[in-house]
């Protein structure tokens, strides 16, 4: 570890963690910019005046703004994201219950996108300006431009409605229980294919483009030229030297993509009725469960912030050239 | 490898990217011309209203009267799809213009003067870049009610930081150039220098970012409408695709196909525009 790395990491983590209170204050400000009474909004539609009063009391909504902010911050920092009136349970519990299914979907989608994206990007770079390069670049640009709510529906139209290859929606078939683990896992995977593919296809273009560009750059850089001059085998040059350096930016982008793909997750989960946090977001909107929606916003923001910190830390270890600010 | 060979490599890249760029631009302009043609001649092509129900008794396949068919409530898909062009362009052009104006007004002085103001800007951009944008947009739309002007304002409010960052970076690299220093020496004031000496240099990278911002705005508005969070009085492709969710199960593939073609073509055209501009304006980038 070069000197200064520790300081850099510490600074990175601190700045990242400062974003958490920023998100919370921001949520608070947004909530208070509403035309109506925040207590009514947080109690939900059709709440009794008594319940609205209880909410007003718990969040101190009749107190001056700075005191309200203090109450809100201290509640959130103890992990109290509020109480969901549709689920009649604390918001954090509801989110945690749905989290594993979302992680499974988003993780599988990202892995397919990264894997396939790198392979296609390398092929396009090696065959730069040939027909295969052009086909790969055009198809990925096309996929990049199709909104996920159109792409996913075409998958449904072909693979669910016309060919009946995959189930319509959900996470597991009715009647399949965990008592038969193999059948259970296979059933979940069968349900996972279409939503994960939708998510993967729209993300893939970014990885193809990135891998292609950095591969081309690497292939024509001086150290590869030198390796060629030393008479190294082209296969070993390609995989040992060029690809390794070309893959570094992929790590950074994978981190950034995480924040961007959450919108895609919300839409995918809605289309395939996948019972994750994305579907939960829409449920919270439909039932006007404001504490739940706010909780999801704070929760996803904090997750993305943490993921970005982790990405940066990983990057420092993988790439010794990383700039120490 | 000799220096001559390296030079020829560089040349090949520059040339290759220019050719690629101009090809992307050609396709993009052709697509945009077709889309604009449809968007501008709606009145000549159809006499149906986009959101009016009851043209037919129910879901009807494309025929001579309804070239793209109708949906479950008998709304004309053709008219709605064409009006969708106007909505998409309206939302993307207005919100992107607003975004760019804010980004320039913040990014120019931040890069030029540096200091505290610059620090604050960087932290704000860090903030917006590290939270999930779509959830934030949903959250804001719920709070401020989903009228089309609110949606445009919300999209702009949450999009300017990343473009402001591009502006700032470009200002930083431009402000040390000789002609800017010269303008300072002859006593031009800061505002003149920023707008007449530095701003022209900021425009090329900003054009690329603005194009991407436009396609982003189209997708965001359509995504909101798809989730039922759009303006119900505005004909949006997103809402059509929400309607298609039920229609495709009873054979109504046309409710999915036509709006999908138009939204994809529009977004593709704008993405190609961004790609092409990037290659032509910045031929050093490896493509």
- Give the mean pLDDT of A292-296: 89
Residue of A nearest to B229 (CA): A285
> What pLDDT does B11 receive?
46
For A134, name the nearest residue in chain B, comparing CA atoms only: B20
**Of A170-184, A198-212, A221-235, B130-144, which gets the smallest average pLDDT?**
A221-235
pLDDT at residue A37 above 80?
A: no
CB contact under 8 A, A145 and B248: no
**How far, rounded to the nearest angstrom, does the alpha carbon of residue A163 sit from its chain's CA centroid?**
30
The one-character DSSP state at A136 is H
Residue-level pLDDT at B283: 60
Regarding predicted confidence, which is higher, B263 or B8? B263
Q: In terms of pLDDT, which residue wins out, B211 or B283?
A: B211
Distance CA B62, CA A232 (A): 62
Q: Which comes out higher in pLDDT, residue A304 or A177?
A: A304
Measure in Å the smallest separation between the Cα of B264 and chain A Cα atoms. Answer: 5
Q: What is the ipTM of this complex?
A: 0.86
Q: Supply the pLDDT for residue A280.
A: 95
d(CA A182, nearest CA chain B) in Å: 31
Tell me if chain A has a CB within 8 Å of the CB of B136: yes
- The whole-angstrom separation of Cα A1 and Cα A5 is 7
pLDDT at A268: 95
Tell me the DSSP string of A26-76: HHHHHHHTSSS-HHHHHH-TT--HHHHHHHHHHTTTTS-HHHHHHHHHHHH
Q: Secondary structure of B185-226 in the HEC alphabet?
A: HCCCCHHHHHHHHHHHHHHHHHHHHHHHHHHHHHHHHHHHHH
The arithmetic mean of pLDDT across residues B215-239, rounded, is 95
Rounded to whole angstroms, the Cα distance separating A184 from A186 reads 6
Q: Whole-number mean pLDDT of chain A? A: 84
**pLDDT computed for residue B17 by the predictor:** 59
pLDDT digits (tens, 9 = 90+) for B64-99: 889 999 998 999 999 999 999 999 999 999 999 999
Taking CB atoms and an 8 Å limit, are B134 and A213 in contact across chains?
no
Mean pLDDT over B152-169 rounds to 91
When scoring A121, A223, A263, A302 by the number of chain B Cβ atoms within 10 A, the one with the most, hence best to mutate, is: A263
Residue B2 is predicted with a pLDDT of 39
Q: Inform me whether the C-beta atom of residue B126 falls under 8 Å from chain A C-beta atoms.
A: yes
Q: How far apart are the first and last CA of chain A?
A: 15
- The whole-number pLDDT of residue A281 equals 93
Average pLDDT over residues A251-266: 82
| Cα–Cα distance measured from residue A96 to residue A102, given in angstroms and rounded to the nearest whole number | 10
pLDDT band at A3 (very low <50, low <70, confident <90, very high): low
The closest CB to that of B132, out of A150, A229, A304, belongs to A304
Residue A90 belongs to what H/E stretch?
Answer: strand A89-90
Q: Do A149 and B16 touch (CB under 8 A)?
A: no
Looking at per-residue pLDDT, the higher value among A236 and B113 belongs to B113
Confidence of residue A201 (pLDDT cuts 50, 70, 90): very high
Pick from A20-24, B91-95, B184-188 the range whose average pLDDT is largest: B91-95
Distance to chain B for A305, nearest Cα, Å: 6
B chain contacts of residue A229, beta-carbon cutoff 8 Å: 1
Helix (H) and strand (E) counts in chain B: 11, 0
How does pLDDT run across A135-153, given as a tens digit for each residue?
998 898 899 999 999 999 9
- For helices B115-129 and B77-113, the axis angle rounded to 10 degrees is 150
Could you read off the pLDDT of B10-37 as tens digits, one per residue?
Answer: 444 444 556 667 888 999 999 999 999 9
What is the pLDDT, as a whole number, of residue B12? Answer: 46
Measured between alpha carbons, how far is residue A71 from residues A61, A77, A78, B11, B180 in Å?
A: 9, 10, 11, 63, 51
| Environment class of A119 (CB within 10 Å of its CB; exposed 0-12, middle 13-18, buried 19+) | middle
pLDDT recorded at residue A57: 79
Q: What is the pLDDT of residue B130?
A: 76
Least-confidence region, from A180-189, A207-216, B180-189: B180-189
Show which of residues 142-181 on chain B sit within 8 Å of chain A, judged by CB atoms: 142-144
Interface list for B 246-275 with A (CB within 8 A): 248-249, 253, 256, 259-260, 263-264, 267-268, 271-272, 275
What is the per-residue pLDDT for A321?
Answer: 60
The gap between the terminal CA atoms of chain B, to the nearest Å, is 22
Mutation site for A-interface testing, chosen from B18, B91, B132, B237 by largest number of A Cβ within 10 Å:
B132
Over residues B110-138, mean pLDDT: 86
Exposure of A162 in the CB half-sphere (CA atoms within 13 A): 9
> Rounded to the nearest 5 degrees, what angle is found at the Cα of A237, between the Cα atoms of A233 and A239?
120
Residues of A in contact with B9 (CB under 8 A): 220
Contact B134 A161 (CB under 8 A): no
Mean pLDDT in residue range B123-142: 85
A215 touching B (Cβ < 8 Å): no
Alpha helices in chain A (DSSP H): 5-32, 38-43, 49-58, 65-77, 91-126, 131-145, 148-155, 181-219, 222-229, 234-236, 243-246, 248-271, 277-286, 290-318
Banded model confidence at residue B218, pLDDT cuts 50, 70, 90? very high
Cβ of B52 under 8 Å from any chain A Cβ? no
Do A259 and B241 count as a contact with CB atoms less than 8 A apart?
no
Instruction: State the average pLDDT for chain B.
Output: 87
Least CA distance to B284: which residue of chain A?
Answer: A217
CB contact under 8 A, A19 and B130: yes
| pLDDT of A154 above 90 | yes
Cβ(B167)–Cβ(B108) under 8 Å? yes
In DSSP terms, which residues pair with A83 in a beta bridge? A90
- Which letter does DSSP use for residue B70 in this model? B
């Amino acid at each position: 570890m070069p000197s200064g790395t520790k300081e850099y990491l510490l600074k990175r983590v601190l700045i990242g963690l400062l974003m958490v209170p920023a998100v919370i204050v921001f949520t608070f400000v947004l909530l208070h910019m509403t035309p109506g009474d925040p207590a009514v909004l947080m109690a939900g539609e059709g709440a009794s005046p008594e319940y609205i009063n209880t909410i007003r009391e718990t969040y101190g909504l009749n107190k001056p703004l700075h005191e309200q902010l203090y109450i809100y911050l201290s509640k959130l920092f103890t992990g109290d994201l509020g109480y969901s009136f549709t689920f009649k349970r604390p918001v954090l519990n509801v989110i945690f219950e749905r989290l594993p299914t979302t992680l499974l979907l988003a993780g599988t989608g990202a892995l397919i996108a990264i894997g396939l994206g790198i392979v296609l990007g390398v092929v396009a770079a090696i065959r730069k300006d040939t027909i295969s390069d052009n086909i790969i670049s055009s198809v990925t640009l096309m996929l990049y431009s199709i909104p996920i709510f159109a792409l996913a529906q075409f998958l449904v139209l072909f693979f669910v409605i016309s060919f009946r290859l995959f189930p319509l929606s959900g996470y597991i078939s009715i009647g399949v229980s965990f008592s038969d683990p193999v059948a259970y896992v296979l059933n979940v995977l069968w349900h996972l294919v279409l939503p994960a593919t939708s998510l993967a296809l729209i993300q893939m273009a970014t990885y193809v483009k990135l891998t292609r560009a950095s591969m081309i750059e690497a292939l024509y850089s001086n150290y590869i030229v030198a390796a060629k001059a030393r008479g190294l085998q082209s296969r070993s040059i390609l995989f040992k030297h060029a690809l390794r350096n070309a893959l570094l930016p992929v790590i950074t982008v994978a981190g950034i993509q995480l924040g961007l793909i959450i919108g895609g997750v919300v839409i995918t989960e809605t289309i395939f009725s996948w019972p994750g946090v994305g579907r939960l977001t829409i449920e919270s909107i439909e039932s006007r469960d404001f504490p739940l929606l706010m909780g999801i916003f704070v929760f996803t923001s904090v997750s993305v912030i943490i993921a970005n910190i982790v990405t940066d830390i990983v990057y420092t270890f993988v790439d010794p050239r990383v700039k120490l600010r | 490898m000799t220096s001559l060979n390296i030079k020829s490599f560089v040349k090949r890249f520059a040339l290759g990217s220019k050719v690629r760029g101009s090809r992307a631009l050609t396709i993009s302009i052709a697509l945009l011309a077709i889309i604009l043609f449809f968007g501008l001649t709606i009145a000549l092509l159809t006499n149906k209203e986009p959101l009016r129900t009851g043209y037919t008794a129910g879901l009807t396949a494309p025929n001579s009267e309804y070239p793209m068919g109708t949906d479950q409530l008998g709304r004309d898909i053709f008219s709605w799809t064409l009006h969708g062009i106007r909505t998409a362009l309206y939302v993307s052009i207005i919100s992107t213009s607003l975004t760019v104006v804010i980004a320039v007004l913040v990014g120019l002085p931040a890069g030029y003067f540096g200091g505290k103001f610059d620090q604050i800007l960087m932290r704000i951009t860090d903030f917006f870049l590290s939270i999930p944008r779509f959830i934030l947009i949903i959250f804001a739309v719920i709070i401020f009610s989903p009228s089309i002007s609110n949606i445009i304002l919300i999209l702009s409010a949450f999009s300017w930081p990343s473009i402001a960052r591009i502006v700032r970076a470009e200002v930083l690299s431009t402000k040390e150039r000789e002609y800017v220093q010269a303008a300072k020496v002859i006593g031009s004031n800061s505002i003149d220098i920023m707008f007449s000496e530095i701003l022209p240099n900021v425009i090329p990278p900003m054009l690329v970012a603005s194009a991407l911002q436009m396609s982003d705005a189209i997708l965001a508005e359509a995504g909101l409408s798809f989730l039922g969070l759009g303006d119900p009085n505005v004909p949006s492709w997103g809402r059509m695709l929400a309607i298609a969710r039920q229609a495709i199960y009873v054979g109504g593939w046309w409710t999915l196909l036509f709006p999908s073609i138009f939204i994809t073509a529009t977004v593709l055209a704008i993405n190609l525009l961004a790609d092409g501009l990037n290659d032509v304006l910045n031929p050093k980038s490896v493509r």
